[in-house]
Structure formats: structure tokens, C-alpha cells
């Protein structure tokens, strides 16, 4: 990994007119207009006979493919997906968002949905894309919850991940779910972000329970849930094989597995991220030599806006593209 020291990544500097982690999180996600690409949607049947929606930005066969695993309640129209694809597609890349179950405006058939530690789903999706495109370089990016799941897969797969992806990156992943879950359920985070997440999570789950009755879920308690801890304890943990929220948040966290990663992986976390406290971030001793840590002082949660008003989301795409090109198979 001596070549890693030769890699120079762009330095992130937050604009003075957008100070603080909350503003840097909320403004890009809700107020910055971006053009939506012409997606081509596919519906894939999963190994357990469920279904997911997969949105493609097509290009020539054999060109590199960027696979984006979205965050909690995100998808192909999330601000980070739009900015990445607007940057990568003109440079000859194909792009794809495999939506997690129940996302992408598609109701999945089974009681289960998706969760932060779903490495098996990541594995199935990536290997299907690899098998369909055997001659194309494949690169994976996971954002927030999707980043945690991707890192968990990379850590569990070890050297085998190199058979599937050339390199990977996570952006603002909640690497320690115990710390990050507690942060989201506290103070202003609970009033702004958690309330918004629960609004759609509860609506989806209550609609799902009308179709697939589940004795493990108490509908009245789900309606009354006011924190992610309560929701994950009532819904996410029992539906996905965990023994309560503490078991889920402990076993699904990707941080303990970072030492097992054996493909070039960039782990990006802003140090003022309202979702991910600094205490959750790894140091050099917590990761393998294949992992590059990039922890700018600012950026918020998947924000990283730059430039004068209204701002541009170009730092993250530029950083990821430079990292991936540096680790392209023909560059090694």
C-alpha cells in the first residue's frame, strides 16, 4: 500500500455563508436545486422472492460502473445521488442506485425491510451487477446507512471483495450505531432529523403490516414510537433477526470490521456531522492498511457544499472520482 501516500485528495473548505453542521446538512438536502437524470428503472426479484427497484443511468458497455447504496429513506433522487451522477456520467461512467427494500416508491412483499448491517443484501446486489458486467470495472459508494452496510460487507468479505469491486468508499457512515443512534435521539437532532425519519418509516411499516401481519410487531407501540431506539427495538431488530435494539446496534456497526477490509476503501466523515459524533470515528489503528480515512473539520452530514451562493456539490464527486481513478485496475 505504499502507493497510497502518492494520492492527493482535494481539501474540503466549507463556505463562510453556510456555517455549522446543521446548516451544512439541511441546505444541500432540501434547498439546493439539481437536475434529475433520465433514469431507466429495473425491478429485480430477490433470492427470497421479494423485489427491489434499481435505477440506471446508462452508458456504453464495458465502461466503469458506479454503484450507489443510499442512506436511510434515501434513493436515486437524493441530493448526493444527483450530484455524483451529474459528475460521473459525462466522464463516461455508468451509474446505478439499487434501492433498499421498501425504498424507491416500491412496497416490498415481505415483512422485512432494510437495515444498517445488511451485508447479505449488499453482496447479492454487487455480485449480480458484476455477473451481468464481467468486463466492466465496478466501484461501490455507500452513503450514511448504506455506507455502514457496505463497510460491513467489505470487512466480512476480506480479500473476496476484490473479486467484485475495484475499490469502494463510504460517506458519513454511522460506524458505531450505539453512539450515532443516541446522538440522533437527543436534543435538536431528535426534533429535526429523527422526527422526519420516523414519519416515513412508521408510515411504510404500518402500511406493510396491513398486507403482511406480523406477530412480532406491536402496531400501537409502533405508532407511538418517538425515537429511533424505540422504532429499531420494535421493528428493525425483530424483523431482521436481532435480539433487540442493543443487539442490532452492536452487531450491525461496521467499525469493528474495518481492520478486515482488503480492497482500497475511502472512509469520509465530517467532524461536525450532527449524526456521527467524533467519538464514533475511527483512527488509523482501527482500520486496515487498505483503508484511507478522510475527516474534514466541516461538511455536515453528506453536505460538503462549496462555492458562493447557491453553492455547488462538487467536492465529494471530485474526491471520489480521483480516488477511484487512482485505484483503477489499469492504474495499479
Taking the CB of residue 271, how many other CB atoms lie within 10 A of it? Answer: 14
What is the distance between the alpha carbons of residues 185 and 194, in angstroms, rounded to a whole number?
7
Alpha carbon distance, N-terminus to C-terminus of the chain: 11
Kindly list the catalytic residues: 144, 273, 301
CA–CA dist 204, 121 (Å, integer)? 20
Q: Contact 235/221 with Cβ under 8 angstroms?
A: no
Q: How far apart are CA 143 and CA 261, in angstroms?
A: 18
- Cβ atoms of residues 116 and 63 within 8 Å: no
CB 238 within 8 A of CB 217: yes
How many secondary structure helices (H) and strands (E) does the chain include?
12, 8
> Which residues face 55 on adjacent strands?
41, 97
Q: Is residue 131 helix, strand or coil?
A: helix
Amino acid at each position: 500500500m505504499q502507493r497510497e501516500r502518492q494520492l492527493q485528495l482535494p481539501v474540503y473548505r466549507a463556505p463562510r455563508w453556510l456555517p455549522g453542521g446543521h446548516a451544512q446538512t439541511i441546505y444541500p438536502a432540501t434547498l439546493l436545486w439539481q437536475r434529475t437524470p433520465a433514469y431507466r428503472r429495473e425491478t429485480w426479484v430477490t433470492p427470497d422472492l421479494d423485489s427491489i427497484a434499481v435505477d440506471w443511468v446508462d452508458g456504453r458497455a464495458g465502461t466503469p460502473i458506479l454503484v450507489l447504496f443510499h442512506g436511510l429513506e434515501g434513493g436515486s433522487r437524493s441530493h448526493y445521488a444527483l450530484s455524483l451522477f451529474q459528475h460521473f456520467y459525462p466522464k463516461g461512467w455508468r451509474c446505478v442506485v439499487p434501492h433498499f427494500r421498501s425504498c424507491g416508491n416500491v412496497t416490498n412483499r415481505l415483512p422485512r425491510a432494510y437495515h444498517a448491517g445488511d451485508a447479505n443484501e449488499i453482496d447479492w446486489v454487487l455480485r449480480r451487477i458484476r455477473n451481468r458486467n464481467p468486463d466492466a470495472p465496478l466501484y461501490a459508494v455507500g452513503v450514511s446507512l448504506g455506507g455502514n452496510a457496505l463497510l460491513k460487507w467489505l470487512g466480512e468479505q476480506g480479500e473476496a471483495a476484490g473479486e467484485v469491486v475495484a475499490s469502494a468508499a463510504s460517506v458519513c457512515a454511522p460506524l458505531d450505531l450505539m453512539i450515532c443512534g443516541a446522538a440522533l435521539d437527543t436534543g435538536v437532532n431528535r426534533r429535526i432529523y429523527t422526527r422526519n425519519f420516523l414519519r416515513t418509516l412508521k408510515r411504510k411499516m404500518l402500511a406493510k403490516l396491513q398486507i403482511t401481519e406480523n406477530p412480532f410487531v406491536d402496531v400501537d407501540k409502533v405508532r407511538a414510537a418517538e425515537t429511533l431506539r424505540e422504532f429499531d427495538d420494535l421493528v428493525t431488530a425483530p424483523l431482521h433477526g436481532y435480539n433487540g435494539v442493543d443487539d442490532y446496534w452492536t452487531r450491525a456497526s461496521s467499525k469493528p470490521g474495518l481492520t478486515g477490509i482488503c480492497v482500497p476503501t475511502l472512509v469520509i466523515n465530517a467532524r461536525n456531522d450532527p449524526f456521527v459524533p467524533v467519538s464514533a470515528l475511527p483512527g488509523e489503528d482501527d482500520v486496515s492498511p487498505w483503508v484511507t480515512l478522510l475527516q474534514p473539520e466541516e461538511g455536515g452530514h453528506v453536505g460538503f457544499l462549496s462555492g458562493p451562493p447557491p453553492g455547488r456539490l462538487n467536492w465529494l464527486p471530485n474526491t471520489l472520482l480521483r480516488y477511484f481513478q487512482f485505484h483503477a485496475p489499469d492504474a495499479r
